[in-house]
Structure 1
């Protein structure tokens, strides 16, 4: 059920601007446009932080809309260490799903979209499905997993690891929320179970599992041989003194190998090759400047590091799309630049009926700490949804609202609030900012503005 009055989307290539979407109104507009579209949506942001925030907000406003996040490696160009396995897992899972999706959103920082990728045929051709009752040779399975980039360990804790203990194989596939335990009876899969990597206890039975490659490049024998041949052809150095070359030759995956990805393939792909042909694009302001700044950093780091004969580097053009090529591709699709800033309505420009909130922070030193909130609720003619980041924070907020003799209805999320018709409601949501719409008159008040500080406790990836 749409709340905003959205303008018609361009059917073919063309660029529009949507403005005056402060706070979470920006995410609401994108969520409703993507939900109503009969095509896939690409959302480009200027940085990783914006991408993560928008992914969470889109999931809140449109819980039935498939929302994928293609994260950045979180390494600097030409770094000598590799991305965390959880990041690689999320990237591979997103790329694998993209060709099958005709509806949904992919959220990507523009700098991540510039990276060249493995060709589609590698990723789509390297998956493996295991079913209960299937015949399985342990040694062949071990060799196949190692060729796909999985690491053999004693105990499985992270994505991309596997362990073999007699008739049991523990495996943590890329893109999977939990690892699996394969129980063999002779050479047949008797059971497949998920298990908790913390305590190693089995959880639930499943009928089948899908294995994706553990790396964004192949580690099969013929692939490594091709890498070595291309390395010798590309670089006029003593390869016997190059750790990257020597480690890969001895079966070790060297740190930072991702910046040699083109040497594994005859040709590379880009993110655009994975997207449907009729994709529509939403972008945030500043992506052009972010892309130019990224390329400036890439060139600087390349010039600073290219002189090391033991670690020769591929030139930037082989690893990243040129900025002009990226935006030339975007011109082929309908594109909306969605901005929180105000704009004047006109041809190709849409101004939404939204506003910024007045100051609502609780003032503990005032005679009436909740005075600003009370005055807003007395004067606002429409409906109001409060959000808290957790069930515990919701109870704290309910206690505060009770001081104003307010008892909002507890709802599961945005769709239930919109359909309920209740004037006051409260829900759990990972929102930093709210929204204030004039037509229709709806306010979403996140707890952060009330307490005058950001209290969101975002999950942070633990890195070993």
Structure 2
């Protein structure tokens, strides 16, 4: 498997520090500091450890949602999709999982929980606030997953009831995860944890076929023999009081609600908690707890409904106590601790081609290997042209598609290794891609597709104009957001992790512009969406009539 590793992880794997760490991980209740870990070296080390120790489980505790996104993207680059899952923190600070306004957040929490504790993904990434949050996490992991297979005896009504009990919303047409639609002998559904939306076809009380379909044009894309369905949130589903497998009995009643607990309470004691720099558990948990206390006092003062902090979060000391039950690794850039990687940050290139060529020439002369990590094939081709001398790249220089957040220079490998990233060379932000789409809109996959002045369409507010990126501070967290200008110069700020709610506006011709911008929350956009939905419903009815006529025709 080492040969399949990303070059950055392979370089770290070849160090004595990594070998020492793999042989002597901290025991439960102890913490080990690992020094000399700049840039994305901690994630490369974790990728190497996960490769060497495939039966171990790892939880990466990030300081913010943005940092969690970077860690997840690095791990997907280093190990491939599916090796790491993201357990996001709740969108709404003062609510529990059942009341969180974002169904995508609720569903992704269930999906990550089930995948990690079910040993399908060895690494889970979460913010420390997400680990501090309390939720009705089920103890019976098997009860979460409900399976439908071709040939199974299952009434269409029983499947619909099972979906309702798991929190699915019935809709005229499935457009996002957490929805289902009933159309004659067909049930369309989109579950978190599934490869995509699925269409279940019944013949009387038998499942005749299961097909995946494209959520944009509703056309079938391929057959499958089974689908696994997860609840849309914790607390939705058959509950853990039932002893019968939901795959055998899909119409189980809701069970007794599970007492709220932290994700840390559900981890095996040997699960390694990984922190990269930052403060301690109590230090980072205290502002969250104080904010929850303040919100509760304000709500009580005004007679508004609110939950006590202890129903939503672990107290700071309790969080630190839970963490101390597990082995902990803390990576720091300073050369302290044991072991210590002989690594440092690469020199700044500052978009200077001559400086880059000089660095590569010096690396070649010293016998070092240099890997330049690029976001895509086009960027790799561009860099190859820039660094080539007489149409040849310098000795030891390798252009690799698959970038990480930060580069590093490693002297302690078998041979010196330099890991550079194209976004650091050109001094620009790294563009994180959303690899999974839970909605039907043709959403943007990368900020690279947008330039200031472009017209965009927000799912809830309609057409506006993209002005640029801006960092805003919410609840003490710095969040990068898209700034969209609407009619009347109204401003909407969309966090970059909600990029899937925005798509580029496209006219008939490249130079077309929309007649006018919409207003935030205005009636024109809502009316247009309602008319479009009505047209889709009419088309769906016509297709169902054709389908029924075809089934009734002899032969």
Give me the TM-score of the superposition, normalised by structure 2: 0.67
Q: Is the Cα contact below 8 Å between 2:95 and 2:312 reproduced in 1?
A: no
Q: Is the Cα contact below 8 Å between 2:36 and 2:336 reproduced in 1?
A: no
Return the match for 1:358 from 347, 352, 362: 347
**What residue is the counterpart of 2:93 in the other structure?**
76
Classify 1:269/1:123 alpha carbon distance in 2 versus 1 (closer, same or farther; 3 Å): farther
How many Å separate the matches in 2 of 1:384 and 1:78? 48
How many Å separate the matches in 2 of 1:69 and 1:4? 28
Q: Is the Cα contact below 8 Å between 1:15 and 1:336 reproduced in 2?
A: yes
Per-residue Cα deviation, 1:221-256 (whole angstroms, up to 9, x for no partner)? 9x9xxxxxxxxxxxxxxxxxxxxxxxxxxxxxxxxx
Return the match for 2:306 from 305, 308, 313: 313
Q: Is the Cα contact below 8 Å between 1:110 and 1:287 reproduced in 2?
A: no
**What residue is the counterpart of 1:451 in the other structure?**
426
**What residue is the counterpart of 2:362 in the other structure?**
379
**What residue is the counterpart of 1:272 in the other structure?**
264
Mapping 1:85-124, distance limit 5 Å: 85-101=103-119, 104-121=122-139, 124=142
SS at match of 1:26: helix
How many Å separate the matches in 2 of 1:11 and 1:104? 18
**What residue is the counterpart of 1:433 in the other structure?**
406
How many Å separate the matches in 2 of 1:71 and 1:353? 33
* Aligned-residue offset at 1:90: 1.7
* Aligned-residue offset at 1:122: 6.1
Q: Which stretch of structure 1 is more off in the superposition, 71-80 or 167-176?
A: 71-80
Classify 1:388/1:16 alpha carbon distance in 2 versus 1 (closer, same or farther; 3 Å): same
Classify 1:397/1:173 alpha carbon distance in 2 versus 1 (closer, same or farther; 3 Å): same
How many Å separate the matches in 2 of 1:463 and 1:122? 34
* Aligned-residue offset at 1:70: 0.8
Mapping 1:190-339, distance limit 5 Å: 190-218=208-236, 265=257, 267-284=259-276, 285-288=278-281, 289-309=283-303, 311-339=304-332
Classify 1:152/1:102 alpha carbon distance in 2 versus 1 (closer, same or farther; 3 Å): closer
Return the match for 2:66 from 39, 49, 70: 49
Classify 1:270/1:356 alpha carbon distance in 2 versus 1 (closer, same or farther; 3 Å): same
Give me the TM-score of the superposition, normalised by structure 1: 0.80
Classify 1:121/1:13 alpha carbon distance in 2 versus 1 (closer, same or farther; 3 Å): closer
* Aligned-residue offset at 1:220: 7.3
How many Å separate the matches in 2 of 1:167 and 1:102? 33
How many Å separate the matches in 1 of 2:14 and 2:299? 52
Q: Is the Cα contact below 8 Å between 2:136 and 2:261 reproduced in 1?
A: yes
Mapping 1:130-149, distance limit 5 Å: 130-149=148-167
SS at match of 1:91: helix
SS at match of 2:339: strand
How many Å separate the matches in 2 of 1:455 and 1:283? 22
Q: Is the Cα contact below 8 Å between 1:282 and 1:337 reproduced in 2?
A: yes
SS at match of 2:227: strand
**What residue is the counterpart of 1:397 in the other structure?**
383
SS at match of 1:359: coil
Q: Is the Cα contact below 8 Å between 1:95 and 1:274 reproduced in 2?
A: no
Q: Is the Cα contact below 8 Å between 1:18 and 1:339 reproduced in 2?
A: yes
Classify 1:172/1:190 alpha carbon distance in 2 versus 1 (closer, same or farther; 3 Å): same
Per-residue Cα deviation, 1:418-452 (whole angstroms, up to 9, x for no partner)? xxxx8222222142321211122111111012212
Classify 1:321/1:264 alpha carbon distance in 2 versus 1 (closer, same or farther; 3 Å): farther
SS at match of 1:351: coil
Classify 1:65/1:155 alpha carbon distance in 2 versus 1 (closer, same or farther; 3 Å): closer
* Aligned-residue offset at 1:133: 0.7
Classify 1:403/1:361 alpha carbon distance in 2 versus 1 (closer, same or farther; 3 Å): farther
Return the match for 1:173 from 188, 191, 209: 191
How many Å separate the matches in 2 of 1:306 and 1:112? 25
* Aligned-residue offset at 1:3: 2.4
Classify 1:123/1:81 alpha carbon distance in 2 versus 1 (closer, same or farther; 3 Å): same
Gaps spanning 5+ residues in structure 2: where? Answer: 3-12, 242-254, 435-496, 503-555
* Aligned-residue offset at 1:455: 4.8
SS at match of 1:324: helix
How many Å separate the matches in 1 of 2:280 and 2:127? 8
**What residue is the counterpart of 2:40 in the other structure?**
24
How many Å separate the matches in 2 of 1:126 and 1:330? 26
Q: Is the Cα contact below 8 Å between 1:183 and 1:190 reproduced in 2?
A: yes
Aligned residues: 401
SS at match of 2:93: coil
Q: Is the Cα contact below 8 Å between 2:174 and 2:215 reproduced in 1?
A: yes
SS at match of 1:120: coil
Q: Is the Cα contact below 8 Å between 1:193 and 1:205 reproduced in 2?
A: yes
* Aligned-residue offset at 1:78: 4.0
Classify 1:199/1:430 alpha carbon distance in 2 versus 1 (closer, same or farther; 3 Å): farther
How many Å separate the matches in 2 of 1:220 and 1:62? 35
How many Å separate the matches in 1 of 2:403 and 2:107? 23
Return the match for 1:4 from 5, 15, 22: 15
